[in-house]
């Protein structure tokens, strides 16, 4: 996780803590285990669904999940091809809306 944080340029920011889930205990507890036969058939068992959460004082205020179908109905169970819902621009928009702030263009 340290190498990934360094690669992403967040290792020294202090704003983001990168944490792994090697036993899938968090993934399982959150009900976010990806159980689609495609990724499982490639040996990707207990993989987490692609999701982003906005959490304030330990309370989930907003949750976004990226899993198919894609814009034209394509199958995308892991959200790898169409992750837009969980990316920063969408999450910032959702957080601003929660706080009653105008969405900046």
Give how many domains the chain has, as a whole number. 1
Residue 71 domain-assigned?
A: yes
Please list, in sequence order, all residues whose beta carbon lies within 8 angstroms of the beta carbon of residue 18, skipping any fewer than 6 positions away. 1, 2, 4, 5, 10
Residue 100 domain-assigned?
A: yes
pTM of the model: 0.74
Question: Torsion angle of alpha carbons 54, 47, 50, 13, nearest 10°?
Answer: 60
pLDDT band for position 68 (cuts 50, 70, 90): confident
**Residue, of 93 and 79, whose pLDDT is higher:** 93
Residue 75 domain-assigned?
A: yes
Residue 37 domain-assigned?
A: no
Q: State how far the Cα of 36 lies from the Cα of 10, in Å rounded to an integer.
A: 31
Q: Provide the residue range defining the domain that includes 83.
A: 49-105
pLDDT band for position 78 (cuts 50, 70, 90): confident
Q: Whole-number mean pLDDT of the chain?
A: 83
Residue 6 domain-assigned?
A: no
């Amino acid at each position: 996780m340290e190498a990934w944080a360094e690669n992403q340029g967040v290792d020294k920011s202090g704003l983001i803590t990168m944490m792994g889930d090697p036993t899938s205990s968090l993934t399982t507890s959150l009900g976010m285990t990806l159980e689609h036969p495609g990724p499982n058939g490639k040996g990707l068992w207990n993989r987490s669904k692609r999701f982003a959460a906005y959490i304030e004082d330990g309370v989930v205020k907003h949750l976004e999940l990226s899993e198919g179908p894609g814009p034209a109905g394509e199958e995308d169970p892991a959200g790898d091809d169409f992750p837009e819902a969980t990316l920063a621009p969408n999450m910032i928009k959702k957080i601003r809306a929660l706080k009653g702030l105008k969405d900046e263009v």
